[in-house]
Structure 1
Amino acid sequence: MSSYSHGLDVSAYQAAQDWKKHARDGITFAFAKASEGRNSRDPKFATHVRGIKAAGLIPGAYHFAWPNQSATAEAANYIGAVKPYAGPGFLHWLDLERYSDGRNYHGRTAAQIRAYAATWVAAVEHAFPGQRVGIYTSADDIAAGRVPNGIPLWYPAYPGKSVDTYAEAERHSRPSPSGRTVTLWQFTSTPLDRSIAYMPPTALREWAGGTGKDDDQAPSKYTAPAFPKGLAPDKSTPSAVPLQRALKAAGYMPKSVKESPSYGPQTQAAVARFHNAHTRYRAKGSTHDVAIGPKGWAKLHRLAYDK
């Protein structure tokens, strides 16, 4: 069995596809552009995504980012576009790339773009609990510090004629831009955008469904602080303050919430949002787990501070 999965992505620029034929030809996953900016939606998204799902492929969608607009408004645009089609096993992607004239990045620093991306991802994770959310982005964006850590990466880089088939992409070394691990590599745009995933089809389906091994870990020397003793929802302890700060930094608690030693309702709600975005840390059978444990604490800190 192959250690890789093959995929395609399309937008309004592509005609309707024979997705069942693509499936017979060995395609495992396919993504369609859903939206762009605050208001724009791809006119062929519904046609594409329905065909992808009907063919039994792992489905997904992407949103083209305008970091100099509101991240929450853009997330709402995307969520509205994909909500009728998203379900378990659906993959969501933020397409974070600069227009050639820079109009979608104009006036924003690298830190502001990174914060925009983290906010967009957190909003989509909250809207679709348990579903994977990743970022499609370039080596330049990663090197410039515009891409948050701890998020699956779909990476475009085209070697040219030396790698223009799936077989050649599989034989090529796995890209590692700025030392980051990539989950998907888009290696050509001819005749369609084509990508490989670094998991066999069965493992990719498990991963897309929110289970299976994480493949989104960026190499890092960051180590989360030890889990505080006595940190629990029914106790008032100074330990709640660093928890609140981490929740804010990771985008799960509004920055306007006043810090308090009390592990109160707002902290509990933020922890529940974190758990619903990262269900492996949530108590089994719960949809509102408000008690963070050592493994969840480490994951939250990495998301918040491993920049």
Structure 2
Amino acid sequence: MARERTHFRRRAGVLAAATAALALAGTTTASAGPPRWAAGLPRGHDVSSHQKQVDWPSAQDHGARFVYVKATESTDYRNPYFDDQYDGARETGLIRGAYHFALPDRSSGTQQARFFVRNGGDWRADGWTLPPALDIEYNPYNANHQCYGLSKRRMVDWIWSFSDEVEQETGRRPVIYTTAHWWRLCTGDSHAFASRHALWIARHGSEGPGSLPGGWPYWTFWQYGTGGGLPGDQNLFNGSAGSLRAFARGW
């Protein structure tokens, strides 16, 4: 039950604790469909233990084409529903991937990456598996330490250590999920990752993803809402269905 509350604290508690920061980022908890200009982009969602048993055929019927499933957090938590969610998505015909929720104050990026890969965060070039994703954002456990007590330079080093280990073990650099505000606050808007990592930008209740952080010229995934027609958070892929499949294969 304590771990079940992790998701609530991430999606609700963090918003309450960092209201000003999220306002600056243009992020709200509004639930709405994608903007009209994005109507032709592949829709997807992300889920965690909060969603428990997901009705995958229903999600597909409502437009889901891909999903990211929370696998791990730090080095001591694995989503107890991960196997059913991850395998269920694939059996239904969705392209799926796994994500890790980072807690940089708990252990090194290398240690967390190893734990992630060994507990669901692997990748294969089968056209059905999205690259592993790193969810790095506001601290859900201490609103006074949104950067987890790390300096901007140490945070950049932590992300690189996670990324290097994931690439060594899977052959892919992780997708990076974040907000523009957090990235500026905690990495100094580092441009070091843009050329080698796909961006999964979070900006809710808006007509677009807004200004992108870190020198990224475009977004690959956009999380545009916390509720809508699909279980969990609502996302779009920036391309065609064929491009999504190619991205899963490694381009």
Corresponding position: 1:136 with 2:177: yes
1:266 is aligned to none
2:249 pairs, out of 209, 213, 220, with 209
Q: Distance between the aligned counterparts of 1:145 and 1:108, measured in 2?
A: 8
- Does the 8 Å CA contact 1:157/1:185 hold for their aligned counterparts? yes
Corresponding position: 1:190 with 2:232: no
Superposed CA RMSD in Å reads 2.1
Alignment of 1:109-120 (within 5 A): 109-120=151-162
Of structures 1 and 2, the one scoring higher in RCO (CA 8 A, sep 6+) is 2
SS of aligned partner of 2:119? helix
1:58 is aligned to 95
Alignment of 1:10-49 (within 5 A): 10-49=47-86
Q: Distance between the aligned counterparts of 2:146 and 2:118, measured in 1?
A: 21
Shift of 1:174: 4.6
For the structure 1 residues 132 and 104, does the alpha-carbon distance in structure 2 shift closer, same or farther, using more than 3 Å as the test?
same
Q: Structure 1-normalised TM-score?
A: 0.59
Q: Distance between the aligned counterparts of 1:134 and 1:157, measured in 2?
A: 16
1:70 is aligned to 108
Q: Distance between the aligned counterparts of 1:107 and 1:25, measured in 2?
A: 41
Q: Distance between the aligned counterparts of 2:208 and 2:203, measured in 1?
A: 12
Shift of 1:34: 0.4
- Does the 8 Å CA contact 1:67/1:104 hold for their aligned counterparts? no
2:28 is aligned to none
Q: Distance between the aligned counterparts of 2:183 and 2:110, measured in 1?
A: 22
Q: Distance between the aligned counterparts of 2:184 and 2:146, measured in 1?
A: 18
- Per-residue CA deviation, residues 194-235 of structure 1 (Å, 9 max, x unaligned), is 001111111111112111xxxxxxxxxxxxxxxxxxxxxxxx
Structure 1: unaligned runs, 5 residues or longer: 164-171, 212-307
- Does the 8 Å CA contact 2:202/2:209 hold for their aligned counterparts? no
The higher radius of gyration belongs to: 1
Q: Structure 2-normalised TM-score?
A: 0.72
For the structure 1 residues 54 and 25, does the alpha-carbon distance in structure 2 shift closer, same or farther, using more than 3 Å as the test?
same
Calculate percent identity across the aligned residue pairs: 27
Q: Distance between the aligned counterparts of 1:75 and 1:27, measured in 2?
A: 28
- Per-residue CA deviation, residues 34-88 of structure 1 (Å, 9 max, x unaligned), is 00112211111111101111111111011010122211110111011116x7422
For the structure 1 residues 149 and 52, does the alpha-carbon distance in structure 2 shift closer, same or farther, using more than 3 Å as the test?
same
SS of aligned partner of 2:87? helix
2:212 is aligned to 177
SS of aligned partner of 2:158? helix
Shift of 1:127: 1.0
Structure 2: unaligned runs, 5 residues or longer: 1-38
Corresponding position: 1:79 with 2:123: no
- Does the 8 Å CA contact 2:209/2:224 hold for their aligned counterparts? no
Aligned residue pairs, count: 197
Corresponding position: 1:156 with 2:202: yes
Q: Distance between the aligned counterparts of 1:145 and 1:208, measured in 2?
A: 29
SS of aligned partner of 2:88? helix
